[in-house]
Structures are given as C-alpha cells and as structure tokens.
Structure 1
Amino acid sequence: MQHRFAGIYTPIVTPFDSHGDVDERAILANVDRYLASPLTGLVVLGSNGEAAQLEDDEADRVIAVVRERVPNDRPLLVGTGRESTRATIAACRRAAAIGADAVMARTPSFYKPQMTSENFIRHYTEVADASPVPLLLYNVTMYTGVNLLPDAVEQLSGHPNIAGLKDSGNDMLQIGDYLARSTPGFTVLAGAAPTLFTAAALGVHGA
C-alpha cells in the first residue's frame, strides 16, 4: 500500500532579525542547506517554525519565500492549525493558494474540557472538507496539553482528504494503535527525535 507523504521532512525554524522581523535571507540559507540533502521535503510553520508567534501576513510570507526556493518534486507541508475551525480553514486555503502541497493542523486546545474525540472529529472533518490540499493531523501534546486519541484517528483516517498524521509524542503504544487502526494508505509520521528509531521499528512511514 502506497503511503502519500511518507518520508523524512525537516521542520524548519523561522529566524528573526534584530528588529524582530522574519529574516528571509536566513530562511533561504537554511532551506538551501536542507535541499542539498536527500530529504523528502520540508515542513514550515510547525512548532519549530514559531507558528504560534506569527501574524497571518508573516506566516503567508514565510510560505511564499520557502515555496519559491523549494522545487516541485520536494513536498512542502505547511502548519495551519488555529484555535477555531473557521480560522484553520482560512489558513489552509491561504497556504494552498501560495503553493503548499499539504497542510498540517495541530489540535485546538484552549477550551480543554471540550477537546473530546467527538469534537476533534467534527473539527478535522470540516477542515478536510474545505481544504484545497490534503490535510495531515498534528498531535503535539507537549505544547497543546490535549491528546488526539486513536479512536478519533481511526474514524478520521477514512476521510478522502486526510492523508495522515504527525505525532510528536513519546507514547509508542499510542503510535502503534494509530498504525493498527487507521485506514490502509494513511500515513503516520513520528515527530519526536528521542523515540524515532522505536517508532520506525513499529512501522511508521516517516518523520
């Protein structure tokens, strides 16, 4: 079974200059180094990319700068997670218009008591329905304080526009459950370096 977006992706940082503005020259210097390696593709505006600190216009400019340099044979994954479904959809549409090959949306997290599997399923289904490009779920519990459970992933994995999941946690039992319960062809990426080899042994499709 072919897994779309399988492979190794570098989550790039977003450098800033001494005035606190996005440093485009530094971004391109980093991108050139990454492109000199056999990496599958790049992730921009992930948790390493300071996404939570950027205004929408800054985020859009980062995508544009990187897309101009990254060739079309290297997938560009763009973080688009926001607290509301509407804002997440808007970010997905902007990223797609700029040239994202796929979008990666973290779990909403502010209203933690309401962050149930049922509500995650509703949120991600609406985002996937509206996104012009494939969606990857993004579970990064260390920052959000919420967890996307395997029962939700199992149901979401059947959506035709949800291509996979990146999990940046260290719970190998949960990653194993994702792999066992998701629809064939659903890509599971590991996002935690300390447990990458263990996750690879379990059968993840990349990182």
Structure 2
Amino acid sequence: MYQEAKQRLRGSIAPIVTPFDATMNVDTKALQNLIEWHIESGSHGISVTGTTGEPSSLTIEERELVMETAIKTAAGRVPVVPGTGSTNHAETLHLTKRAQEMGADAAMVIVPYYNRPNQQALYTHFKIVADSVDIPIIIYNIPGRTATNLDVKTLTRLAEDCKNIIGVKESNKDFEHVNRVLLNCGRDFLLYSGIELLCYPMLAIGGAGHVSATANIVPREVADIYNYWAAGEVEKAIDLHYKLMPLNDVLFKDTNPGPLKTAMGMMGKINPALRLPMGPPSEELQKEIWQTLNQYGLLDQEAGMSK
C-alpha cells in the first residue's frame, strides 16, 4: 500500500491558495477552477490548506470544506495531499482522520508552530497522529515559520516506527540537513523541496519532487522541472530552474501567500483577498510583481512563459 503511494506521490505537488470571494468567504468555485487548471497544466498532485492555503486564517469547518472540495474535484485524477497539521494536537488528529474519511491520498502534517516543542514531544505528537490513520503521512518541516526544526534523528525514528510516515516536505535552507534525511531515512523516503530555489537541487540528491508555491503561477513549468529530470534531460531542468528564479524571488519578497495572491489577481485567476492578520504587499512591491509577470508574458495569457 505505502510502496504504491511512494511511486504515485512524486513530482510537483502544487500547494494551492485558498481563494476568498468578495464577502471573504471561501470561494469553492474558484478553488475548483484552480484545481482543474492545475490538472490540465500537468501538476502531478494537489495540496490544500498548507502554508500557501492560509490554514491559520480558516476555521476547522472551512479547512474541511477546502479539503473536501479538492478531493471531490480531483476525483482521483491526481493525488490530493491536504495539510492537516495545527498548533493544536487534538485539531491535528481530527483533521488527519477527516482527510482519511474524505479519501485523501495522504496527509501533510506540519511541525507544530509557536509552541516550540522539544524533539521527544515532536516524536510523540507525530507518532500518535500517524497511528490514528492508515493513509500515508508526509511531515512538513518549515523551521522559518514554526521556530522549531525537526531533527534528522527524530525523523529517522518516526520513519522506522511508523510505516505510514513515508516522506517529508523540507522548507529548510540547510542543505546539509536535507542530505542527511535521505542518508538516515533511506533513499526511498520521499523528500520534497518546499524552498523554490532548492526544487532542482533536491532532485539531484534523490528527492521525490517539490511543493512549490510558484506552481500557482506557472504550474506547467514547475512540473516540467521534475519531468525533465525524470526523463534524463538534465540541461533542460537546469535551464528552467534558472529561468524561474526572478519569478521565485519576487513572490517571496513579502510573506507568502501575499505576493502570490496579488500575482494571481493580476492574472485574473482569483480575487486576491487575504484575511487579517495577513495583508497585501506594498504598492512598490505590487508594481514589481506586475513588471515581473509582464516579463514572463503572464498578464495577457492564462498560463505559460512565452507569448
């Protein structure tokens, strides 16, 4: 069961934004349209209610609504991996169980943020969550957001003790750390990059793919980084890696998903609304985003990087 999942859960798992309508409610129709666009554009999988999906701005009921909408819309055409983690252990358990009930292909569970638990507490938290379900679990390590780094030793213990913990999304700029993940957890452990500029480098060391916010802007190109690598067309993958760098840079000049939603609004994809305490980028950055999208030819066409 988990070996099959390890084969299917590879490539670009696009972390989709949560669109809001004019009344600041979750816009399920816009979400459905985004998912269809991603599938048509070649994204290998879909993730919702992760960092890019503003989960801390959603109620539990809204998170369930977004997960259910994604799973029903994808309808088995691509894997759906919702983010089910929270700073609250009971909420994490609830959402992970709900993801399984809804038919999710896996659950992505973030290291609890703000609490700053020690390594033993992290081990206990993830083990209880993993033991509560049968679906695959992908741990999400993003120390820049959580203020806590999941040690490789802790992750290795979890991979050994919980057969359904099959991978980790590392939004970790410490490239030595991510190398040691595969050394200690095994080369068949799924390692995903959550750092845009490390999507290609992680493939080179044996990574399974990436969960890149930039896929919300150019899903085909982000998927093609993996496609070229998997096909042995290394130079094409490297060329695309560098071609995307200016776009990656501008999308992270303010806290994600602020610049990202602004860009998607300029492309006509969504209403770019953010819920407080998040807010839009400065006017100066918005101009830079517009200029960058224009350089990529994204303002007058729905997708792609050339007119």
1:164 aligns with 2:149: no
| 1:184 CA drift (Å) | 5.0
1:175 to 174, 178, 192: 178
Question: Which residue in 1 is equivalent to 2:128?
Answer: 126
SS in 2 for 1:78: coil
| 1:130 CA drift (Å) | 0.3
Q: After the TM superposition, which segments of 4 or more aligned residues of structure 1 sit over 3 Å from their partners?
A: 1-4
SS in 2 for 1:91: helix
The AA in structure 2 aligned to 1:70 is A
Contact 1:79/1:105 (CA < 8 Å) preserved in 2? yes
Identity %, equivalent residues: 27
2: CA distance, partners of 1:61 / 1:132: 21
Contact 2:113/2:145 (CA < 8 Å) preserved in 1? no
2: CA distance, partners of 1:170 / 1:39: 24
The AA in structure 2 aligned to 1:202 is I
1: CA distance, partners of 2:89 / 2:69: 26
**What is the CA RMSD across the aligned residues, in angstroms?**
1.6
Question: Which residue in 1 is equivalent to 2:114?
Answer: 110
2: CA distance, partners of 1:196 / 1:7: 10
The AA in structure 1 aligned to 2:44 is T
1:71 aligns with 2:75: yes
2: CA distance, partners of 1:142 / 1:28: 30
Structure 1 residues 97-153: Cα deviation after superposition (integer angstroms, max 9, x where no partner):
1221111110113222xx222111111111100023111100011211111111111
SS in 2 for 1:203: coil
Give the greater-gyration-radius structure (CA).
2
Question: Which residue in 1 is equivalent to 2:262?
Answer: none
Question: Which residue in 1 is equivalent to 2:27?
Answer: 23
2: CA distance, partners of 1:32 / 1:51: 21
| Bigger proportion of residues as helix | 2
Question: Which residue in 2 is equivalent to 1:149?
Answer: 151
2: CA distance, partners of 1:60 / 1:43: 13
The AA in structure 1 aligned to 2:178 is I
Structure-to-structure mapping, 1:35-50, within 5 angstroms: 35-50=39-54
Question: Which residue in 1 is equivalent to 2:195?
Answer: 192
| 1:13 CA drift (Å) | 0.3
**Structure 2: tracts of 5 or more residues without a match:** 211-307
Contact 1:102/1:135 (CA < 8 Å) preserved in 2? yes
TM-score after normalising by structure 2: 0.64
**Structure 1: tracts of 5 or more residues without a match:** none
The AA in structure 2 aligned to 1:134 is P
- Matched residue pairs, number? 205
1:32 to 36, 39, 53: 36
Contact 2:199/2:209 (CA < 8 Å) preserved in 1? no
Contact 1:80/1:105 (CA < 8 Å) preserved in 2? yes
1:140 aligns with 2:104: no
